[in-house]
């Protein structure tokens, strides 16, 4: 399971870094470059941590657990990159230049120190015990402390900045991304604190059993959340548009039976173009938007054409029955009742015998999306609303007033 998790996280980090690389080339912005490098280094860390790969790396150089050393160095590099990213966020490029240079110099120094300590320490063949190899081995313990400190500092900084600026940004996807990154950093920070505890415990001879798989799951999940958070604002809009498109298509399909009933079946002269396009073509974004628009207009035209046949009594009954509902639902049910009563009267070629009543005003503001949502409600009510059926039947006034919320006769 650890192999699968780290492989997935590593793949995700490399994809995210590649995604940001294209933006780096296009925008030539040092902050974007810093995000890209941070993600790439996260990919290096996770790749080197995949157990089979780590074991293979450990055996490539005689007497040196190269896999462990590579992981430690990559973590320190990742921490430095994350700190540079945060510096470039919180300062202008000119103000951050000095601090960035200092961080890079410190990185070089720490890498040299860590490598020297590691080589001098000669830790034993790598096993899955993080701390046991350090007990009594000062050099190795120092390496592990540097590793934990570097990772912990970076995670703490990302978590603090992420939570803060998630509240302050006015872009919803950036806010969600920062929250995800902050949550991921918090998980990895918890991993660091626990590892520190076991390291200190091992040094004092307390070798407590701890769930290694669970710890790696926490660290891997934290890394995944950080990756998602740093890239969500880039791919999020496409994802949101994709969901919107699916929702729009579902609502368009829901209008079909109503459109067949009152437009294609009764007033075909209102149809601009009978579609013979395949379903796949109808689903294409540009084509779907046009078809949704046409469907709404044709339904509106049919609604006007059916006005002389509307039964005003049925409409009043529908208004009374639904007076406790919110405006959108109430107006949709009343409109569906009007249409049902008008279709019924038109079929019997008998206008209602009164001056043409107006139609129930639709609570719409000129927006296609809200019109589509409203007509989807009308279509649903037209097809199967018990309120509509009740309004079209001809009860006495007493029955209508009795059908109030809480009354046992109130339809569901």
Nearest-angstrom CA–CA distance, 74 and 296: 58
Which of 18, 52, 136, 361 touches another protein (CB under 8 A)?
361
Under the criterion CB under 8 A, does residue 238 sit at the interface with another protein? yes
- 247 lies in the binding site for another protein (CB under 8 A): no
Q: Is residue 282 a contact residue for another protein (CB under 8 A)?
A: no
| Smallest gap from residue 59 Cβ to another protein (A) | 40
Position among 53, 200, 297, 373 found at the interface with another protein (CB under 8 A) = 297
Cβ nearer to another protein, comparing 84 with 400: 84
Q: Which of 55, 104, 368, 392 binds another protein (CB under 8 A)?
A: 368
Nearer to another protein, 146 or 371 (CB): 371
3-state SS assignment for residue 187: helix
Terminal-residue alpha carbon distance, the chain: 49
18 binds another protein (CB under 8 A): no
Per CB under 8 A, 353 contacts another protein: no
> Nearest approach, Cβ of 277 to another protein (angstroms)?
13
Per the CB < 8 A criterion, the answer to whether 208 and 181 are in contact is no
Told to check if 15 binds another protein by CB under 8 A, we report: no
Q: Does 239 bind another protein (CB under 8 A)?
A: no
Is residue 358 close enough to count as binding another protein by CB under 8 A? yes
CB 130 within 8 A of CB 199: yes
Q: Where on the phi/psi map is residue 333: left (φ > 0), alpha (ψ -120 to 50), or beta?
A: alpha
Question: Rounded CA gap, 207 and 114, in Å?
Answer: 25
Whole-angstrom Cα distance, residue 116 to residue 108? 12
Site for another protein in 116-155 (CB under 8 A): none
Shortest Cβ 300–another protein spacing (Å): 4
Should residue 70 be labelled a site residue for another protein when binding is judged by CB under 8 A? no
Using CB under 8 A as the binding rule, whether residue 273 contacts another protein is answered as yes
* Among 32-40, 119-127, 182-190, 380-388, the segment contacting another protein (CB under 8 A): 32-40
HEC sequence for 74-112: HHHHHHHHHHHHHHHHHCCHHHHHHHHHHHHHHHHHHHH
Binding to another protein, residues 156-175 (CB under 8 A): 165, 167-174
Q: In 3-state terms, the chain is what percent helix, strand and coil (to 5)?
A: 75, 0, 20
Task: Give the residue among 69, 212, 200 at the shortest CA–CA distance from 143.
Answer: 69
Nearer to another protein, 52 or 237 (CB): 237
- Give the one residue of 269, 279, 349, 398 binding another protein; rule: CB under 8 A: 269
d(CA 59, CA 44): 18
Give the residue with the Cβ less far from another protein, 58 or 301: 301
Interaction of residue 371 with another protein, rule CB under 8 A = yes
CB of 411 to another protein, least distance (A): 27
Per CB under 8 A, which region of 58-66, 129-137, 140-148, 292-300 contacts another protein? 292-300
Alpha helices in 169-284 (DSSP H): 172-203, 212-254, 256-259, 279-283
Q: Minimum Å distance from CB 226 to another protein? A: 12
Q: Is 48 exposed, middle or buried (0-12, 13-18, 19+ CB in 10 A)?
A: buried
Contacts of 412 (CB under 8 A, 6+ apart): 386
In the complex, the smallest distance separating the C-beta of residue 301 from another protein, rounded to whole angstroms, is: 7
Based on the shown chain and the rule CB under 8 A, indicate whether residue 90 belongs to the binding site for another protein: yes
Among 1, 62, 272, 280, binds another protein (CB under 8 A): 272
The single residue among 366, 405, 408, 412 that binds another protein, judged by CB under 8 A, is 366
- Count of residues engaged in binding another protein, rule: CB under 8 A: 66
Positive/negative CA dihedral, 73, 77, 78, 80 = positive
Per DSSP, what are the bridge partners of residue 61?
64
Question: With contact defined as beta carbons under 8 Å apart, do 399 and 409 qualify?
Answer: yes
Min CB(102)–another protein separation in Å: 20
Phi and psi at residue 394, to the nearest 5°: -125, 70
169 burial level (CB within 10 Å; 0-12, 13-18, 19+): middle
Rule CB under 8 A: which residues touch another protein? Answer: 22-23, 26-27, 29, 31-32, 34-35, 85, 88-90, 165, 167-174, 177-178, 230-234, 237-238, 241, 244-245, 267, 269-273, 285-286, 289-290, 293-294, 296-297, 300-301, 303-305, 307-308, 356, 358-359, 361-362, 364-368, 371
């Amino acid at each position: 399971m650890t192999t699968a998790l780290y492989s997935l996280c590593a793949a995700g980090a490399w994809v995210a870094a590649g995604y940001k690389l294209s933006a780096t080339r296009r925008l030539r912005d040092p902050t974007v470059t810093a995000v890209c490098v941070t993600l790439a280094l996260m990919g290096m860390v996770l790749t080197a941590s995949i157990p089979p790969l780590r074991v293979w790396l450990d055996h490539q150089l005689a007497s040196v657990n190269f896999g462990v050393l590579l992981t430690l160095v990559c973590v320190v590099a990742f921490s430095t990159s994350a700190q540079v990213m945060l510096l470039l966020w919180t300062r202008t490029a000119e103000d951050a230049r000095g601090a960035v240079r200092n961080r890079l110099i410190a990185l070089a120094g720490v890498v040299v120190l860590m490598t020297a300590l590691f080589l001098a320490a000669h830790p034993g063949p790598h096993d899955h015990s993080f701390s046991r190899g350090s007990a009594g081995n000062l050099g190795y313990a120092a390496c592990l402390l540097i590793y934990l400190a570097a990772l912990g500092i970076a995670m703490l900084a990302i978590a603090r900045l992420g939570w803060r600026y998630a509240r302050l940004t006015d872009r919803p996807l950036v806010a969600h991304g920062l929250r995800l990154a902050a949550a991921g950093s918090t998980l990895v920070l918890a991993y660091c604190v626990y590892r520190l505890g076991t390291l200190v415990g091992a040094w004092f001879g307390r070798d407590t059993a701890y769930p290694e798989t669970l710890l790696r799951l926490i660290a891997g999940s934290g890394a995944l959340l950080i990756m998602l958070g740093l890239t969500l604002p880039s791919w999020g809009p496409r994802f949101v548009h994709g969901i919107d498109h699916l929702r729009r298509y579902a609502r368009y399909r829901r209008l079909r039976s109503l459109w067949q009933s009152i437009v294609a079946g009764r007033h075909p002269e209102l149809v601009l173009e009978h579609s013979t396009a395949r379903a796949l073509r109808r689903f294409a974004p540009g084509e779907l938007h046009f078809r949704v628009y046409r469907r709404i207009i044709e339904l509106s035209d049919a609604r006007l054409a059916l006005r002389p046949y509307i039964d005003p009594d049925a409409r009043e009954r529908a208004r009374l029955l639904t007076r406790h509902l919110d405006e959108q639902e109430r107006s949709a049910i009343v409109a569906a009742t009007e249409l049902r009563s008008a279709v019924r009267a038109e079929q019997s070629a008998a206008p209602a015998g009164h001056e043409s009543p107006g139609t129930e005003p639709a609570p719409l503001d000129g927006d296609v999306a809200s019109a589509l949502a409203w007509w989807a409600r009308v279509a649903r009510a037209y097809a199967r609303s018990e309120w509509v059926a009740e309004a079209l039947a001809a009860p006495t006034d007493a029955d209508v007033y009795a059908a109030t919320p809480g009354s046992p006769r109130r339809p569901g």
